[in-house]
Structure 1
């Protein structure tokens, strides 16, 4: 059995590809919406975050022989828990992660952390659109929401818990864009124009995460972009394409069956 952490749209495609190749697979996702997409394709799915101990329990309970970690590039804790859980139980760990995208532009600056991004955006001022999700929203509201030269707009998934978090943080309802992507470059441009955006904050999630469309739209409009760098994690057995992952699984599977 393969325990598969599916954190992105391309990760879910990989899970389906592995299943169609004939390997038994149990996928884990954070949201019920992501689970529904996988169940439609006949996959067994667990919904909810797993800590290291829970991953270890899953490995024992389901006879897992390898863990494929395809969680989001910014899901740092999920990857650390998966690596540690696999290592503790003596099973193979494989990491699938989207290739990084290199950007160089006079209107784009990199930030090492969310706090650093908030500082850089605050120095630029104006209308700032946040496209980094709700998980770190508090960092940006604390630093930017009441800054006199800033109007903060938050774009996030239209989920009840996200709206409740905005309410708890005192985020103005008129400044919330609750919408499900992915979005085209033209759609991003229309949204930036609608809110008269001066600065856009995003994460370096990779091409498959529709980051290109956001960044290209913003830069073409002369909007300043602050991009948060990926966490620096040393992964074991890291790959950025499906074929290499499948080849490694095949080699390992032959060893398991031998």
Structure 2
């Protein structure tokens, strides 16, 4: 019997490692959007399942006993497909969700429902934006010709891109001093990010607070309601007892 772990997040890798240590058969599924992902221990598959029907068939074929959705908070399609496929195949599903970021004293946060709203709000907050929302969805900012963007992502982004931009290829974790130097060195006056949560990229928020910069934060998309935890150890216990 197999435990299917969805996602290439740090939490997904930690979960796969701990389940492997307990002798569980684990298959980690990665979306394949990153050219050189950090691979978890155990078996790994890359790419989509073919929608709800394809995932349902895969669950039955591989006799999956439990699914842990540890995908990125903004990976809404696979989360929805997993919810419906788990129901169809009668396989228990747990969402391993890292907590979202919360503003603290001194933060100048502005919230947007999605990338389109963020693009509409952004011109009122600054002219030189540090865009850290990932390479998916950059088209939302492509028409903002009056702004300059520092676009940071893991792999090279494809068009359309904003007319005035610099692409910085990098992978976290990041440190506050380096983030502060990057922001001041490029003359950044506004930070744009998704509410990804976690510690890998939180340094940019600390640097923005120290420098008094406004931060435009895109809210997480809604997810289907299911059993949920924020702790890897709890997810391990849950999966081992299915």
> Greater helix percent: which structure?
1
Distance 1:224 1:230 in 2: 19
Question: Of the candidates 142, 150, 153, which is equivalent to residue 153 of structure 1?
Answer: 150
Which runs of 5 or more structure 1 residues have no equivalent in the other structure?
253-258
Paired residue for 2:223, among 225, 233, 250? 233
Equivalent-residue separation in structure 2 for 1:224 and 1:181 (angstroms):
22
Mapped contact 2:153–2:171 kept (Cα < 8 A): yes
Deviations 1:186-212 (A, max 9, x none): 1111111121100010111112342x2
Unpaired runs of at least 5, structure 2 = none
Query: Would the alpha carbon gap of residues 215 and 110 (structure 1) be closer, same or farther in structure 2, given more than 3 Å must change?
Result: same
Q: Deviations over 1:47-86 (max 9, x none)?
A: 1133222211220221111111100011111100111111
Deviates more, 1:194-203 or 1:227-236: 227-236
Secondary structure (helix, strand or coil) at the match of 1:49 reads coil
Kept in 2, the 8 Å contact 1:114–1:228? The answer is yes
Q: Superposed, which structure 2 residues align to 1:100-179 within 5 Å?
A: 100-104=100-104, 105=106, 107-142=108-143, 144=144, 146=145, 148=146, 150-157=147-154, 159=155, 162-163=156-157, 165=158, 168-171=159-162, 175-179=166-170
- Report how far residue 243 of structure 1 moved: 2.1
- Give the corresponding residue for 1:256: none
Contact (CA 8 Å) 2:173, 2:199: kept in 1 or not? no
Q: How does 1:11-160 map to 2 (within 5 A)?
A: 11-31=12-32, 33-34=36-37, 37-38=39-40, 41=41, 43-50=42-49, 51-104=51-104, 105=106, 107-142=108-143, 144=144, 146=145, 148=146, 150-157=147-154, 159=155
Matched residues in 2 for 1:109 and 1:171: separation? 21
Query: What secondary structure is seen at the aligned counterpart in 2 of 1:190?
Result: helix
How many residues end up aligned between the 2 structures? 237
**Equivalent-residue separation in structure 1 for 2:124 and 2:164 (angstroms):** 24
What TM-score comes out, normalization by structure 1 length? 0.85
Shift of 1:174: 5.8
TM-score (norm 2): 0.91
SS in 1 for 2:216: strand
CA distance in 1, matches of 2:107, 2:171: 30
CA distance in 2, matches of 1:93, 1:106: 36
Determine whether 1:242 maps to 2:232.
Answer: yes
Q: What's the CA shift for 1:170?
A: 4.9
TM-aligned CA deviation for residue 37 of structure 1: 2.3
Q: Deviations over 1:189-237 (max 9, x none)?
A: 1111121100010111112342x21101111112111011111224311
